[in-house]
């Protein structure tokens, strides 16, 4: 196992910080090496567990950044990928079709009622495609609609379009001058015992209506819960009201279901759970059960029709080398097989969380407990820096790993989003460890 010592940095020669504990060639994501300890090396994973070189196995309580839907090394999905690899590993999708992509497209249409699918590589590109389609739709329709509306606190990815519609913060500050302008609407988050939710919802809807007085191309949101923004939940009623005023304005509604798709909120898609029908939907993460990177943007047929023309300028000139990769499609179809075979795995998960969240919510240093489907969250009351840089996240993460549980708090927001396969005893251990850490703090 890699040593877990802190490294003193010589900023006159920062390369000296990269001693034998850090891989000399890897640039890790969302990590300041000068302020971090070297990562452990994971050699295998099985179910909800990650096995490191030495040390205790870790319960992966956040599904490895929300992608590992059925657990690590799921044998059914692994077999499907292996069988597909022996038939066809990749083919250019601009010139050819293949059975796995056609089957997946048909299934997702039946589940979402969105007729057209555009394949890409990940969640950020799926959002990027949705934004580009929405903007070009109006150009092709010869209407001057360029305004985009998003919600405060949102996170939609790290490509330039996705950054533009996301919250402006530490993550995208270096690129601020290069991002396109976006109108913002408050996100009226809800939690157990929130007595002011209706007031906050009215204020948000009032601001949305005001922005929509300007001809708008699209409104983008994360249905039911903002993920990286702090696991902030809104009520279904609010989303229905948002859809109504957006439709009345003529703008398109984009649902970013990169996190919320595939059972995370208790239904296969959060849009279905909320009762809304977006014009465009972006999906990724749980799409392939965590096996392979893939993104998909789904669109209503009325949108697709505006790109049909003898004029080449109406074409959607966008593509990715691994568009509709056969291995990724095979993994996605296998993952859907598992979800369709055992829907109770995600439909009943909220009941598994509930008694533990109720218990933790009674602690004096906990506020805003909330729960939806497979996701539970609560805030730690402390006086540290607001947002992601709150130092409580580092302490909590370190202590939890020492006790065999991997979590990654969002600042002072502690959350669980485990694989659907996690056992009752493993889930109980996650909450027990978190509870002990909270008491110590």
140, containing H or E segment: helix 123-140
How far, in Å, are 26, 102, 280 from residue 301 at the CA level?
43, 17, 10
For residues 395 and 405, give the distance between their C-alpha atoms in angstroms, rounded to a whole number.
13
In this structure, is residue 13 part of a structural domain? no
Q: What number is the average pLDDT over the span 400-422?
A: 97
Mean pLDDT, to the nearest integer, of 275-298? 98
In a domain, 173, yes or no: yes
Q: Is the pTM of this model over 0.85?
A: yes
Asked whether residue 45 falls in the same domain as residue 188, the answer is no
441 beta partners: none
User: Does 290 reside within a domain?
Assistant: yes
HSE-CB of 408 using CA atoms within 13 angstroms: 13
CATH code of residue 367: 3.90.1150.10
Poorest-confidence range of 14-18, 302-306, 327-331?
14-18
Residues 6 or more apart in contact with residue 16 via CB below 8 angstroms: 9, 10
Under a CB-based contact definition with an 8 Å cutoff, are residues 409 and 38 in contact?
no
Same domain, 67 and 80: no
Give the CA count within 13 Å in the CB-facing half-sphere of 200: 16
DSSP codes joined into one string, 203-230: HHHHHHHHHTTS-EEEEEE-SSEESTTT
Q: Is residue 8 part of a domain?
A: no
In sequence order, the 6+-apart residues with CB closer than 8 A to the CB of 10 are: 16, 17
Per residue in 231-275, pLDDT (tens digit) is: 999 999 999 999 999 999 999 999 999 999 999 999 999 999 999
- On whether both 335 and 220 belong to a single domain, the answer is yes
Mean pLDDT (the chain) is 94
pLDDT range class, residue 17, cuts 50, 70, 90? low
302 and 241 within one domain:
yes
Q: How many domains does the chain have?
A: 2
| 8 A C-beta contact, residue 289 and residue 339 | no
CATH code of the domain covering residue 286: 3.40.640.10
Q: How confident is the model at residue 34 (pLDDT cuts 50, 70, 90)?
A: confident
Both 59 and 96 in one domain: the answer is no
Strand partners, 242: none
Residue 12's pLDDT band, with cuts at 50, 70 and 90, is low
Q: Do 309 and 211 share a structural domain?
A: yes
Residue 201 has pLDDT above 50, yes or no: yes
Question: Among the residues of 361-423, which ranges form H helices?
Answer: 392-402
Whole-angstrom distance, CA of residue 92 vs CA of residue 87: 15
User: What gap in Å lies between CA 295 and CA 121, rounded to an integer?
Assistant: 5
Please give the average per-residue pLDDT across 318-327, as a whole number.
97
Sorting pLDDT into bands at 50, 70 and 90, what band is 18? low
Tens-digit pLDDT profile for residues 58-92: 999 999 999 999 999 999 999 999 999 999 999 99
The answer on 226 and 175 residing in a single domain is: yes
Q: Distances from the Cα of 48 to the Cαs of 79, 125, 328, 343, 347, in angstroms?
A: 19, 28, 21, 18, 19
Q: What pLDDT score was predicted for residue 392?
A: 87
Q: Are 340 and 141 contacting, i.e. CB atoms less than 8 angstroms apart?
A: no
Residue 165 has pLDDT above 70, yes or no: yes
Residue 422 CA to its chain's centroid (Å): 20
User: What pLDDT, on a 0 to 100 scale, did the predictor assign at position 6?
Assistant: 44
Find all residues with CB under 8 Å of 158, minimum gap 6, and list them: 124, 171, 172
Q: Which of the four pLDDT bands, split at 50, 70 and 90, describes residue 33?
A: confident
Same domain, 265 and 137: yes
pLDDT at 199 over 90: yes
Q: Is the pLDDT of residue 4 over 50?
A: no
Q: What is the dihedral of CA 71, 73, 79, 80, to 10 degrees?
A: 50
Per the CB < 8 A criterion, the answer to whether 259 and 63 are in contact is: no
* Chain center to CA of 3: 31
> 222: closest CA among 257, 267, 189, 246?
257
Of 341, 372, 405, the domain-final residue: 341
Contact 228, 169 (CB under 8 A): no
Q: E-assigned strands of 61-169?
A: 116-120, 147-151
Q: Examine the domain organization and report whether 252 and 162 are in the same domain.
A: yes
Between CA 440 and CA 434 the distance in angstroms is 10
- Report the alpha-carbon angle 197-199-204, nearest 5: 95
Phi and psi dihedrals of 232, rounded to 5? -100, 120
In a domain, 220, yes or no: yes
Distance CA 71, CA 78 (A): 11
Q: Are residues 337 and 353 in the same domain?
A: no
- What is the extent of the structural domain holding 285? 76-341
Tell me if 284 sits within 8 A of 295, measured CB to CB.
Answer: yes
Q: What is the pLDDT of residues 83-116, one digit of tens each?
A: 999 999 999 999 999 999 999 999 999 999 999 9
Question: Residue 5's pLDDT is what?
Answer: 44
Judgement on whether residues 317 and 416 belong to the same structural domain of the protein: no
**Residues 276-302, buried b or exposed e (16+ Cβ, 10 A)?**
bbbbbbbbbbbbbbbbbbbbbbbbbee
- For residue 100, is it within any domain? yes
pLDDT at 117 (0 to 100) = 98
Among the three residues 341, 364, 387, which one is the final residue of a domain in this structure?
341
Q: Are residues 265 and 372 in the same domain?
A: no
What are φ and ψ of residue 226, in 5° steps?
Answer: -85, 130
Query: How is residue 47 annotated by DSSP?
Result: B
Query: Per the domain annotation, does 245 fall within a domain?
Result: yes
Q: Is residue 393 part of a domain?
A: yes
């Amino acid at each position: 196992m890699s040593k877990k010592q802190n490294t003193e940095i010589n900023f006159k020669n920062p390369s000296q910080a990269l001693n034998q504990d850090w891989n000399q060639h890897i640039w890790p994501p969302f990590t300041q090496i000068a302020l971090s300890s070297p990562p452990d090396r994971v050699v295998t994973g099985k179910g909800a567990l990650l096995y490191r070189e030495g040390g205790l196995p870790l319960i992966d309580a956040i599904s490895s950044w929300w992608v590992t839907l059925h657990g690590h090394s799921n044998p059914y999905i692994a077999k499907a990928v292996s069988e597909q690899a022996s038939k066809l590993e990749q083919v250019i999708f601009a010139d050819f079709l293949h059975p796995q992509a056609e089957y997946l497209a048909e299934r997702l249409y039946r589940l979402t009622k969105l007729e057209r699918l555009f394949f890409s590589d990940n969640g950020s590109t799926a959002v990027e495609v949705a934004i580009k389609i929405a903007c070009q739709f109006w150009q092709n329709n010869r209407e001057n609609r360029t305004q985009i509306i998003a919600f405060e606190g949102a996170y939609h990815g790290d490509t330039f379009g996705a950054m533009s519609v996301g919250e402006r913060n530490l993550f995208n500050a270096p690129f601020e001058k290069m991002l396109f302008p976006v109108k913002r609407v408050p996100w009226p988050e809800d939690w157990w015992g929130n007595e002011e939710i209706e007031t906050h919802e009215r204020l948000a809807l009032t601001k949305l209506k005001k922005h929509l007085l300007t001809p708008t191309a699209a409104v983008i949101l994360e249905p039911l819960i903002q993920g990286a923004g702090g696991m902030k939940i809104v009520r279904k009623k609010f989303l229905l009201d948002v859809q109504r005023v957006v439709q009345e304005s003529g703008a398109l509604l984009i649902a970013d279901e990169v996190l919320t798709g595939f059972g995370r909120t208790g239904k296969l898609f959060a849009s279905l759970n909320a009762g809304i029908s977006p014009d465009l939907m972006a999906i990724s993460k749980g799409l392939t059960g965590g096996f392979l990177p893939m993104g998909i943007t789904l669109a209503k047929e009325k949108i697709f029709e505006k790109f049909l023309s003898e004029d080449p300028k109406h074409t959607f000139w966008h593509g990715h080398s691994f568009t509709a990769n056969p291995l990724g499609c095979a993994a996605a179809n296998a993952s859907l097989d598992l979800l369709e075979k055992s829907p109770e795995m995600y439909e009943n998960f909220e009941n598994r969380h509930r008694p533990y969240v109720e218990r933790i919510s009674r602690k004096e240093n906990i506020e805003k407990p909330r729960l939806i489907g497979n996701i539970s969250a609560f805030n730690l009351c402390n006086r540290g820096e607001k947002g992601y840089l709150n130092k409580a996240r580092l302490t909590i993460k370190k202590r939890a790993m020492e006790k065999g549980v991997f979590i990654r708090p969002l600042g002072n927001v502690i959350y669980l989003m485990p694989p659907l396969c996690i056992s009752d005893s493993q889930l109980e251990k996650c909450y027990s460890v978190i509870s002990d850490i909270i008491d110590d703090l």
